[in-house]
Structure formats: structure tokens, C-alpha cells
């Protein structure tokens, strides 16, 4: 099958980073998010709830759902300072896990869902652990940010450019740049961005697989 005949949904992506890489290769790729896109191609963007378009005959989906309540770094907020359960946080966790499961169980033959390392309660609610964990330094970026993939019908990504040695030689504040970002909306945005090298690898490797 030619790339133009492969319909790809890139869920929960306003940046269009992955969508653009897929489009460069000729794929019929569409970003979808509740927000307007910031990637400069509204003609390739579906603004709205991705759950409403999961049944629209996609061949592949790459999803980047919000990780706020599922990520391991946020597990401490499940309890109040007095040790009691933060019921509001637990409810948000359940809602986040249900959304994640809806994506994972979508009627699409090829699926990859990206998220940071989850805490054990998230794994229990989602129903299974991730299939692969990568780092940006495996794809040409001297950065550290563990990124996990839950896969359905797709192979694990292969390293394209290993710069781990260069990353290890950086000063700590540079090597762990994302960790040292000040709190605020910009920190959240920068930490959730898809690295160019990873976006390219997903487009090339999974796109080629979808064309078989």
C-alpha cells in the first residue's frame, strides 16, 4: 500500500509534530485535539474529542494522552499530607485511565500510545504495562526523558542515532534540563513535547510497517 492510502490519526496532538513528519512521507495523517493546532496546518487538524472519531476507519493511531494523573512523578499527590486519600485525585486518575483504555482498545489495527513511566495504580487501571521505554538520546537528542509506548500490532522503535555518550558528558543542569525547568504552563508544554528525532522515527518506522 502507498502512504497516501494509509489513514493515520495522531490523537491528543496540538503541536502536529508527528503529523507533519507523517505528511512529509505522504501519509494521510490527521492531528486531533481539544485545542486549536499550533503546527501551522489547521487543514490537517480535527478539533474536538478524539473519542468521537475513533470509529472513522483509521489504519493506524499514534496517541499522546495527558499524563498528569497517570505518571509516576505524580503518585505522591494521591494522598493528602495527613495520609488520607485525595479522593478528587483518585477520581481524576480513574477518568484518565478510562480515556487511556478507550484509546488502547480502539477499533484500529495499529496503535501506539505514548506516555511517561506510569505509577503502579495507573498500570492496574489501564490493565497492562508498557511495551517499550525509550530516551531522546537514542534518537539524536542530548536529553533525558523516559518515554513509554503501549503497542498494538506495531513493532518497537529502533534506535536511529545514539548520542548517550555525548549526553553523559554534559553538565547536570544541561543533561537534566527538562527536570530543572521552573514550574508553570511553559514547563508543562516543554516537558510534553515530542522530540523531532522521535517523531521522525515513528513516522518512518511505523509508517513503513503500516504500508506492508
- pLDDT reported for residue 182: 61
Contact (Cβ atoms closer than 8 angstroms) between residue 4 and residue 24: no
pLDDT in tens, 28-83: 999 999 999 999 999 999 999 999 999 999 999 999 999 989 999 888 899 999 99
**Residues with Cβ within 8 Å of residue 47, at least 6 apart in sequence:** 32, 33, 34, 35, 36, 37
Segment among 65-79, 125-139, 156-170, 177-191 with least mean pLDDT: 177-191
pLDDT in tens, 3-20: 999 999 999 999 999 999
Domain boundaries, the chain: 3-137+145-158+191-210
Q: Architecture of 3-137+145-158+191-210 per CATH?
A: 3-Layer(aba) Sandwich (3.40)
pTM metric for this prediction: 0.91
What's the distance, Cα to Cα, between the start and end of the chain in Å?
Answer: 6
Residue among 140, 206, 151 nearest 8 (CA)? 206
DSSP 148-164: EEEEES-PPPPPSB--H
**Mean pLDDT of all residues belonging to the chain:** 92
Amino acid at each position: 500500500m502507498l502512504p497516501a492510502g494509509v489513514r493515520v490519526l495522531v490523537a491528543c496532538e496540538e503541536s502536529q509534530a508527528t503529523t507533519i513528519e507523517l505528511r512529509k512521507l505522504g501519509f494521510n495523517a490527521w492531528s486531533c485535539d481539544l485545542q486549536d493546532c499550533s503546527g501551522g496546518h489547521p487543514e490537517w487538524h480535527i478539533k474536538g474529542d478524539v473519542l468521537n472519531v475513533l470509529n472513522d476507519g483509521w489504519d493506524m493511531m499514534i496517541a499522546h494522552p495527558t499524563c498528569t494523573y497517570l505518571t509516576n512523578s505524580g503518585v505522591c499527590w494521591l494522598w493528602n499530607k495527613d495520609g488520607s486519600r485525595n479522593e478528587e485525585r483518585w477520581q481524576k486518575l480513574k477518568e484518565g485511565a478510562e480515556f487511556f483504555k478507550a484509546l488502547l482498545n480502539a477499533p484500529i489495527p495499529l496503535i501506539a500510545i505514548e506516555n511517561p513511566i506510569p505509577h503502579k495504580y495507573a498500570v492496574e487501571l489501564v490493565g497492562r504495562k508498557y511495551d517499550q521505554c525509550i530516551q531522546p538520546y537514542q534518537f539524536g537528542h542530548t536529553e533525558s526523558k523516559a518515554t513509554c509506548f503501549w503497542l498494538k500490532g506495531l513493532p518497537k522503535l529502533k534506535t536511529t542515532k545514539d548520542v548517550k555518550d555525548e549526553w553523559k558528558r554534559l553538565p547536570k543542569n544541561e543533561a537534566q534540563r527538562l527536570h530543572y525547568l521552573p514550574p508553570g504552563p511553559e514547563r508543562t508544554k516543554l516537558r510534553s513535547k515530542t522530540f523531532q528525532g522521535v517523531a521522525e522515527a515513528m513516522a518512518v518506522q511505523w509508517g513503513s510497517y503500516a504500508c506492508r
